[in-house]
Amino acid sequence: MVTRFVPKQNRGVFIISSSDYSHEAGEVSEEVTKPPVVEKYNQSKYGVDVVDEMIASYYAIFPTKRWPVRLFLHLVHTVAYNAYKLFILKFPNWRSNDRSKRRIALRELVRLLIIPHILRRRRNLTGIHLQVRRSWDIVLNLPVVHGEPDQNVFPMGPDFDQEINPTPTRKLAAGGSQHQRTRRRCEICAGNCDQRKISDVQCCRCKRFVCGDHRFEWCDICTNLRY
């Protein structure tokens, strides 16, 4: 239930509780100065403040003015903290001397929650930025496999180019026009043709035209290291 309590003029407080206070007196009178939910909050506000302080130590939330989204994200942090406490109660000896065990537990919880979504998104990589795919591989602990177009971004020689592009480039006929089309729409951008960005840069391996959002620049050192 949601209760709005105004202790002073122009000073309203919203209290959200999972308990049901509908059977109790909810009106404020001379004898009852505060609603039951406020009385209950005052009795347990020390624990609420401590939990809020602990949640704030690992608070990962993006700025937003939408209070339903902010409330949902706060509930997610609260549920994560409750899951951590239940885990510690069941396994009290887990990393007993490690002061960063809560951070480790939160990272493992996040990884277990996002892996199913990553596996679902990996079924169709159309329009997914290369950096996002690299992050997925890091989370899934996948090695970089040379020779696969989605696992390596470096040129692998003419043999690999023939494997990617089995159809050879058409040569200009004798006496034909020497003008070649050097600008096309990005072949990785999602959406219809009008929404794709125009680019004059081709991938040195697969010869696709790619815009700035779907290409990366590498130095000689990183290229030699093969990422």
Predicted local distance difference test score (pLDDT) of residue 84: 92
Which tops the pLDDT comparison, 210 or 147?
210
- DSSP lists the bridge partners of residue 11 as 8
- Is 186 buried (19+), middle (13-18) or exposed (0-12) by CB count in 10 A? buried
**What is the model's pLDDT at position 226?**
52
Neighbours of 165 (CB within 10 A): 13
pLDDT of residue 53: 86
Q: Compute the average pLDDT of residues 143-171.
A: 42
Q: Is 188 within 8 Å of 208 (Cβ atoms)?
A: yes
Integer Cα distance of 74 and 54 in angstroms: 12
Q: Is the pTM of this model over 0.85?
A: no
Q: Of 93, 101, 107, 51, which is closest to residue 75 (Cα–Cα)?
A: 51
Describe the crossing of helices 67-90 and 101-121 by its angle, rounded to 10 degrees: 120
Q: What is the mean pLDDT of the chain?
A: 74
Whether pLDDT at 134 is above 50: yes
What distance in Å separates the CA atoms of residue 207 and residue 182, rounded to the nearest whole number?
Answer: 12
pLDDT in tens, 87-132: 999 999 998 888 889 889 988 888 888 999 999 988 888 778 777 8
pLDDT digits (tens, 9 = 90+) for 7-63: 888 888 887 777 776 655 555 555 667 778 888 878 888 887 888 888 888 887 778
Look at 102 and 171; give whichever has higher pLDDT. Answer: 102
For residues 136-165, average pLDDT:
51
Q: Is 125 exposed, middle or buried (0-12, 13-18, 19+ CB in 10 A)?
A: middle
Question: Higher pLDDT residue, 187 or 112?
Answer: 112
Taking alpha carbons only, the member of 81, 89, 132 closest to residue 109 is 81
The pLDDT value recorded for residue 16 is 79
